[in-house]
Amino acid sequence: MTATDSADRPMLDYDRLQLGEVFGPIVYRLTPIASKDYANLLRTRYILGDVVNARHDTRYYHTPRPGGEIRTTGRLVDRYVKRDRQFITVETISTDEAGDVLVESRTTLALGRPKPAVE
């Protein structure tokens, strides 16, 4: 089984999330159709319901090389409830094959209702 198989991951439970929890890595080759979805880092550990990007801050340091490998890791740095909605904040770092930092991001996600399990 892979990290994306639902049998390997519990449903994301806000009350059990631990600050400092580490997600990933996601490793991929930069291609014209490659896209980075920060929720995919959470999906390396949990079955994820709907999320809304509530805030996003990104700093770009270097341009990635086409065809190069990119490694993205993240960690949970905050969780809180505001107006009866649950929020989590994840910091991510993407590096190239040489270990040079390409991107640092801080993303706050509003958690929605979990998606029903698919059988």
Q: Residue 81 CA to chain centroid, in angstroms? A: 19
Q: What pTM, to 2 d.p., does this model score?
A: 0.73
Q: Considering only the top CATH level, what class is 6-111?
A: alpha beta
Q: How far apart are CA 72 and CA 27, in angstroms?
A: 6
Comparing 7 with 55, which gets the higher pLDDT? Answer: 55
Q: What is the mean pLDDT of residues 28-42?
A: 63
What does the pLDDT look like over 36-84, one tens digit per residue?
A: 455 677 778 887 778 888 999 999 998 888 888 889 999 999 999 999 8
